Amino acid sequence: DARVTQTPRHKVTEMGQEVTMRCQPILGHNTVFWYRQTMMQGLELLAYFRNRAPLDDSGMPKDRFSAEMPDATLATLKIQPSEPRDSAVYFCASGLVAGSTDTQYFGPGTRLTVL
Amino acid sequence: QQQVKQSPQSLIVQKGGISIINCAYENTAFDYFPWYQQFPGKGPALLIAIRPDVSEKKEGRFTISFNKSAKQFSLHIMDSQPGDSATYFCAAPHSGPFGNEKLTFGTGTRLTIIP
């Protein structure tokens, strides 16, 4: 049963520390998304990649957030330095954008708490 | 920038009843409107989606009704069951060069089915 995996599942850190979240997309998927979910803002798209190339990161605060895909099996989202307002659940999703297939498959999320 | 307005914010329905969640969207050149279901502690998962060359799509107890002229679509859950208790998100694509993969999500509806 193919699924998106994310690590860590939970992260508690102090303000100013660097946080790295990792995602392994479903094998064969060509598109990877990073979302942030909060009670106030709901589900927001931060960035996404097609065939490892960044397509859109307009939803991401550029001064402290960065997203990369070092290879087809790994996507990373980094926050440096972290702030309390970054506390949220971060989801990675992957999909195969081909023809009429548009389903995004979400991982279980990383719950980040910044103290 | 796409905006999606979802209502109600929360909904309580008796077991066996019909649950109805509504969404309205702004202009879009794309025709793909999914609904995602999220259980506590899990990532969202695609429930059902419609491409509005049809006005209705049904999968089991779940039906999407689409009104293109009004820019509205709704999710109907027939014979609602306690296992349907979850948060439901509608989504619509952004207008622009991104295709159907760049989605804006509604704010979510927390559905509770009571015995």
pLDDT per residue as tens digits for the range A30-81: 999 999 999 988 999 999 999 999 999 989 998 999 999 999 999 999 999 9
CA dist., res. B32 & res. A8, Å (int)? 32
- AA letter at A46: L
pLDDT band at residue B95 using 50, 70 and 90 as cut-offs: low
Residue of A nearest to B89 (CA): A43
pLDDT value at B108 more than 70: yes
In chain A, the percentage of residues whose pLDDT exceeds 90 is 82
Q: Which residue has the tokens 């622009």?
A: B96
Determine the pLDDT at residue A98: 67
Predicted confidence band of residue B69 (pLDDT cuts 50, 70, 90): confident
Q: Name every chain A residue with its beta carbon within 8 A of the beta carbon of B41.
A: 108
Whether residue A108 has pLDDT greater than 90: yes
CB atoms B43 and A107 under 8 Å: yes
Phi, psi of A86, rounded to the nearest 5 degrees: -80, -10
Please report the residues numbered 72 through 91 in chain B whose beta carbons come closer than 8 angstroms to any beta carbon of chain A.
89
The DSSP-derived string for B25-94 is E---S---EEEEEE-TTS--EEEEEE-TTSSEEEETTEEEEEETTTTEEEEEESS--GGG-EEEEEEEEP
- Mean pLDDT across B86-114: 87
CA distances from A63 to A60, A68, A79 (A): 9, 15, 9
Question: Is the omega angle on the peptide bond into residue A61 within 30 degrees of 0, that is, cis?
Answer: no
Contacts of A58 (CB under 8 A, 6+ apart): none
| pLDDT on residue A45 | 94
- Taking residues B98-115, report their average pLDDT: 89
Do the beta carbons of residue B31 and residue B52 sit within 8 Å?
yes
pLDDT of B90 reads: 96
User: Within its chain, how far is the Cα of A53 from the centroid?
Assistant: 14
Tell me if chain A has a CB within 8 Å of the CB of B105: yes
The pLDDT value recorded for residue B40 is 95
**How confident is the model over B12-45, as pLDDT tens digits?**
999 999 999 999 988 666 678 999 999 999 999 9
Nearest to A42 among B34, B98, B108 (CB): B108
* Nearest CB neighbour to A108, from listed B43, B100, B101: B43
Q: For B54-68, what is the mean pLDDT?
A: 93
Partners of B99 on chain A (C-beta within 8 Å) are 97
**Closest alpha carbon within chain B to A90:** B43
CB B87 within 8 A of CB B110: yes
Is the pLDDT score of B3 beyond 90?
no
pLDDT, residue B68, reads 86
Average pLDDT value for chain A: 93
Angle at CA of residue A41, ends A79 and B30, nearest 5°: 100
